[in-house]
Amino acid sequence: MRLGILSDIHANYEALSAVVEAFKREEIDKYYCLGDTVGYGGSPNECADLVREIAKKTILGNHDAAVSGRMDYSYYYEAARHALDAHAACLSPENMQWLKSLPYDAHLEEIGLLLCHGSPVRLEEFEYIFAPEQARECLAIREQLGHLTLIGHSHLCKVFALSKTNVEELPSMDFELEPDKKYIVSVGSVGQPRDFDNRASFTIYDTDKKRFEFKRIEYDIELAADKVLRARLERNFAHRLFIGV
């Protein structure tokens, strides 16, 4: 099968629409979303509707958890709290119930996949993995990982190969899985990339070839940014889209 994996849409419908259209050219069999459908952007309902339509399974992200009342976000900075409050107020009952039902992870054992939003070590704490020392903590639960563990949360594209005793960071480029290693891959962000590449990020995993691919696609950033401003959210949430941080 060819799996389409996406994450961190953050209510950016223009980016999500471009990614979905790009996926249609890739002969995808199933879609999986690694969380944070909402937060920051101007189109929470439109994004939730589309993800619910296409994704075989969606994982709970921290912004999803905050909007649906499943975590305390009082320690978030003011602009982020305001966006979460605004999204909670405008989500349809169906989309709110969907967020309330999302799982913290998914084990697809038949194809060797583990899906989660942040680190698999303490799922409910949504910890980041963007450096080898953070990935190294996963060695303690290596047997519980999939051959391939896919995460989001950092908005960065990252690849970590885990032997039984060591972690190596690999280039964020297409690769084939080796049978004696396990991999943690951060798939980047659809709606708010933070690697100075403003194109939407999405990924593909071919379960037969054991091949993982990183993809980017341009989208209408001006329209997405305008929706943020019209929703009276923090202006920086719009401006950062143009520079990819």
User: Tell me, what's the pLDDT at 177?
Assistant: 98
Per-residue pLDDT of the chain (245 residues; tens, 9 = 90+): 999 999 999 999 999 999 999 999 999 999 999 999 999 999 999 999 999 999 999 999 999 999 999 999 999 999 999 999 999 999 999 999 999 999 999 999 999 999 999 999 999 999 999 999 999 999 999 999 999 999 999 999 999 999 999 999 999 999 999 999 999 999 999 999 999 999 999 999 999 999 999 999 999 999 999 999 999 999 999 999 999 99
pLDDT of residue 25: 96
- What per-residue confidence (pLDDT) applies to 106? 98
Check residue 19 and give its pLDDT. 98
Q: In what order do the strands lie in the sheet with 55-58?
A: 55-58, 30-33, 2-6, 200-206, 211-217, 175-176
Report how far residue 80's alpha carbon sits from residue 175's, in angstroms, rounded to the nearest whole number.
35
Q: Which residues contact 77 (CB under 8 A, 6 or more apart)?
A: none
Please list, residue by residue across 129-161, b when 16 or more beta carbons sit within 10 angstroms of its beta carbon and e when fewer do.
bbeeebbeebbeeeeebbbbbbbbbbbbbbbbb
Question: Angle at CA 195, nearest 5°, toward 190 and 199?
Answer: 40
Using a 10 angstrom Cβ sphere, with 0-12 exposed, 13-18 middle and 19 or more buried, the burial of residue 27 is exposed
CA angle 73, 155, 67 (to 5 degrees): 25
Q: Which of 61, 63, 68, 54 is nearest to 99 (CA)?
A: 68
pLDDT of residue 10: 98
| pLDDT of res. 11 | 98
pTM of the shown model: 0.96
The pLDDT, as a whole number, for residue 186 is 98
